[in-house]
Amino acid sequence: MTKYDIRERAMDFAVRCAKIVRCLIRNQTSLEYTKQLIRSSASIGANIEEADGAISRKDFVNKMAIARREARESRYWLRLIVLAGVATAANKTEFYDLAREAEEILLILSSIVNKARIK
C-alpha cells in the first residue's frame, strides 16, 4: 500500500472529500454540490474495484474509463464549490488540493486505460 496504489489513492480521495464537505457553508447550493461530489468521488474507487474483477479486457477498460470520468466530474465539483463561493476562505486551499489530486488520479487512470487498450 504505497502512495502510488491507485486503489488506496481513490479511497483516500473519497474520504477526504467526504470530510471536507462538512466544513462548507450550509445552504441549498452547497447541499446539491456536495451530494454530487460525494457520489462522483466515491464512484472512482468503486469502479476501480469493479475493474479488478472484470471478465474481459473490454470490461476492464470500460470500468476504468468510468472511474476516469468520475475523477473528471469530481474535479469539476471541487472547483465549482470554490468558484461559487460555497467554500469558506479557510478551506479553499484544501479544495484546490483535492482538485489537483483528482487531476492526478485522472492522469493515472488515463494511462491505465490507454495501456490496456493497446494490449
CA–CA separation, 55 and 34 (whole Å): 33
CA–CA separation, 40 and 109 (whole Å): 15
**Measured between alpha carbons, how far is residue 102 from residues 53, 114, 117 in Å?**
23, 18, 22
Architecture of domain 6-118: Up-down Bundle (1.20)
Mean pLDDT per 10-residue interval, the chain, length 119 residues:
76 97 89 96 97 94 97 97 88 93 97 89
Cell numbers 479544495 correspond to what residue? 95
The pLDDT of residue 8: 95
The pLDDT of residue 88: 82
The pLDDT of residue 37: 97
CA atoms within 13 A on the CB side of 83: 7
Q: Which strand (E) or helix (H) includes residue 78?
A: helix 57-83
Cβ pair 37, 99 in contact under 8 A: no
CA angle, 6 then 32 then 10, to 5° = 5
The pLDDT of residue 2: 45
**pTM of structure:** 0.91
In the chain, domain spans: 6-118
